[in-house]
Amino acid sequence: MTPGMTPAVTARRRLPIGTALTYLSLIAAALVVLLPLLVVFLTSLKTSDEVAKGGALSLPRDWLNFANYATAFTDGHMLAAFGNTAFILVFSVGGTVIIGSMTAYAVDRFDFRAKKPVMALFLVATLVPGVTTQVATFQVVNGFGLVDTHWAPILLYMGTDIVSVYVFLQFIRSIPHSLDEAARLDGANAFTIYRKIIFPLLKPAIATVVIIKGITTYNDFYIPFLYLHSEDLGTISTSLFRFKGPFGAHWEAISAGAILVILPTLVVFLLLQRWIYNGFAQGATK
Amino acid sequence: MTDTPLPSSRTTPAVAAATPSTVRAGKRSNGSSGSSGSSGSSGSSGTGRTTGKSARARSWRDSPLRRATPWFFLAAPLALLITFTYVPVVSMIIYSFTDWDGVSPDREFTGVDNYVQIFTRPELFRVFFVSGYYLAASVLQIGVALYFATVLSFNLRFRNFFKGVLFFPYLINGVAIGFVFLYFFQDGGTLDSLLAWFGVSTEHAWLGDPTSANTSLAGVSVWRFTGLNFVLFLGAIQSVPGELYEAAQMDGAGKWQQFRHIIAPSIKPVLSLSVILAISGSLSVFEIPYIMTGGATGTSTFVIQTVKLAFQFNKTGLASAAAVVLLAIILLITWVQRRLVPDDKVDLV
């Protein structure tokens, strides 16, 4: 560095090579992420003949060959799978929002003697990963006679979601208590305050929870795999998993199935990008 | 790793100009953007409540109905929490000392026999070593995520595009990812075709022997989970006030120095969270190996083995003991981590 040069100038001079390397690394990463997906997309458009003869990176002859999608959709029972997943999704996400916000409201707005122990129960539960207790949880669910019904995953998703309680708790603290007080003076009881004041004000937190919960529920494999054995109860994860059995070597059909499952996620992601990033950043650090 | 958190950067003029209270608020919750406001107000909420007290509110406050109210809201959440978390944990510990098969009404108390089996039967113990592959992978994963989070926190062209591309794998269905990579590693699949382009022809069956199978599967988990770490780091980095970088630049700090003294301290809490998630995640890997190999060729993990023991071989007692061991390891790691890096965000009450 020559003595007369200001740091700003040297910084600008040094930039090009550094920037080029930065972009190079970004492009490399993008290729690593996109290439496997792209190849599967290409495969999904090929005929079984093309898959057998051409390499994985060859292009399909007919770009509008959606026959594999039809196969995957009908033989993979995808319509039923999307229906089952939607049913579970609506109830478990709705339940999580109500349960989480009620817990947060009770804990943040009331002083009662058992408050610390109750919070400790929720806190300790965050340390127990669901996968470890499933052997015994299965017995509990079985005891209720809920195995192989939609209610097993719904109850499990609702009951074990502590992350959402934290998201709501963080948010509810920022709602001024004076709003509660004012409503109380107008004669509102605790339930009315929760329903008419707190719940509507929680909208941003609700959006966060709906997004995180929705995506994890849509993608979950472990719980539906353990609890939903009947084929007609299959969620998209388990239906896709089963689909591979009879189509073992037919990669064009399996690829179409995989793309069918990924597509809704891609659409939701593109539409809600900003909220999704924030949601995961908020949810995971709690 | 154990350098001082924010104070090292407090010497820069921009921070000196900021009020001490904002600096502290920022430090308390620098793990995530947006929560700084809420945790800041939690301190003042108590005073707001006492000043806004009226005679009518006070009388209501003392009524017995008031005391019962929180329980109306907590009944359902607590019932679910206890039924699906605490009852299983307790019963799992009980099962682990029996030879129960999960179905028959009678079970024999066998003491610590199950635990002895887990630690002495090599075929049961082996699954611990598989976690090693995933642990190594998560080191790579955190490093890569850290690099890209740092790079993308500065202004770049197509920044949002790269952000999206890096994060998207995390949102994809695990079964779909399993199939994508099954095809990727197939003979004559994506990877072989790519290598052939570069003149390397491999007759290697990627999922054919334990070492390369586990390495390949761990690679898939890097592909899948880097995005989450990346977004967490990015959030933490962006919660650092922009003036800090400007001030550092004016002081002549280069990119590395900015990383070392501004970015690194600000992401420390998230980094420690990622480390703990990585360790417990590496121990409880299930989806990808189960979907891709079914646990064959030495890729069986702790959870795959537990699921097989419990639901295929009806060895509920043994499976419970395995699960208790896994749970104990994860709790131990969490505890150690909390001791090493005190987490000042867990102030819930």
Q: Could you give the ipTM of this predicted complex?
A: 0.87
Cβ pair B166, A29 in contact under 8 A: yes
Query: Which of chain A's residues have a Cβ under 8 Å away from the Cβ of B255?
Result: 18
B293 by Cβ neighbours in 10 Å (0-12 / 13-18 / 19+) ranks as buried
B-interface mutation test, from A133, A168, A172, A244, most B Cβ less than 10 A away = A133
Cβ count near A143 (within 10 Å):
12
Test the B interface: residue of A140, A169, A242, A285 with most B CBs within 10 Å = A285
Using a CB-CB distance cutoff of 8 angstroms, which residues of chain A are in contact with residue B56? 185
All residues of chain B having their beta carbon less than 8 Å from the beta carbon of residue A280 are: 170, 228, 231-232
What is the model's pLDDT at position A249?
73
Q: Which of A106, A136, A258 sits opposite B73 (nearest CB)?
A: A106
- Determine which of A74-88, A226-240, B190-204 has the lowest per-residue pLDDT on average: B190-204
The percentage of chain B sitting over the pLDDT mark of 70, rounded to a whole number, equals 78
B-chain residues near A37 (CB < 8 A)? 180
* Whether A269 contacts B164, CB under 8 Å: yes
Of the residues B33, B51, B74, the best mutation for testing chain A's interface (the one with the most A CB atoms within 10 Å of its CB) is B74
**What's the CATH fold of domain A76-284?**
MetI-like fold (1.10.3720)
Query: Of the spans A42-56, B107-121, B236-250, which averages the highest pLDDT?
Result: B107-121
Nearest residue on chain B to A103, alpha-carbon basis: B74
Domain boundaries, chain A: 7-53, 76-284
Contact A33 B165 (CB under 8 A): yes
Q: Give the model confidence (pLDDT) of A134-173 as tens digits.
A: 889 998 999 999 999 999 999 999 886 778 888 898 889 8
Q: Do the Cβ atoms of A48 and A252 come closer than 8 Å?
A: yes
Record: contact A285-B235, CB cut-off 8 A: yes
Contact B70 A56 (CB under 8 A): no
Spatial separation of the C-alpha atoms in residues A258 and A253, rounded to whole Å:
9
- With b for 16 or more beta-carbon neighbours within 10 A and e for fewer, the A58-94 pattern comes to eebeeeebebbbebbbeebbbebbbebbeebbebbbe
- Asked if the Cβ–Cβ distance from A121 to B81 is below 8 Å, we say yes
Nearest to A137 among B84, B164, B228 (CB): B84
Which of B236, B287, B316 shows the shortest C-beta gap to A221?
Answer: B287
User: Sign (positive/negative) of CA torsion B95, B100, B103, B107?
Assistant: negative
Nearest residue in chain A measured CA to CA from B269: A285
Render pLDDT for B33-55 as a digit per residue (tens, 0 to 9): 333 333 333 333 344 444 444 44
Distance from C-alpha of B58 to C-alpha of A181, rounded to nearest angstrom: 11
pLDDT band at A87 (very low <50, low <70, confident <90, very high): very high
- CA of B79: which chain A residue's CA is closest? A159
Q: pLDDT at position B63, please?
A: 66
In Å, how far is B222's CA from the nearest CA of chain A? 11
Residue A196, min C-alpha distance to chain B (Å): 15
For the segment A214-247, what is each residue's pLDDT rounded down to a tens digit? Answer: 998 999 999 999 999 888 888 999 999 988 876 6
Distance of alpha carbon A60 from alpha carbon B244, whole angstroms: 52
Place of tokens 């996400």: A93
The residue among B42 and A29 whose pLDDT is bigger is A29
Quick one: average pLDDT of B74-84?
A: 90
Contact across the interface for A135 and B319, Cβ inside 8 Å:
yes
Mean pLDDT confidence for B133-154: 92
> With contact defined as beta carbons under 8 Å apart, do B302 and B283 qualify?
yes
Residue B201, pLDDT > 80, answer no
**Model pLDDT, residue B140:** 94
pLDDT-above-70 percentage for chain A: 92
Q: Cβ contacts (< 8 Å) between A166 and chain B: which residues?
A: 348
Least confident range from A163-167, B253-257, B260-264: namely B253-257
Global confidence as pTM: 0.81
Q: Which of A235, A227, A214, A259 is nearest to A83 (CA)?
A: A235
Rounded Cα distance, A257 and B182, in Å: 14
Share of chain B above pLDDT 90, in %: 23
Q: Which DSSP state fits B3? A: S
Distance of CA B319 to CAs A78, B22, B323, Å? 33, 51, 6
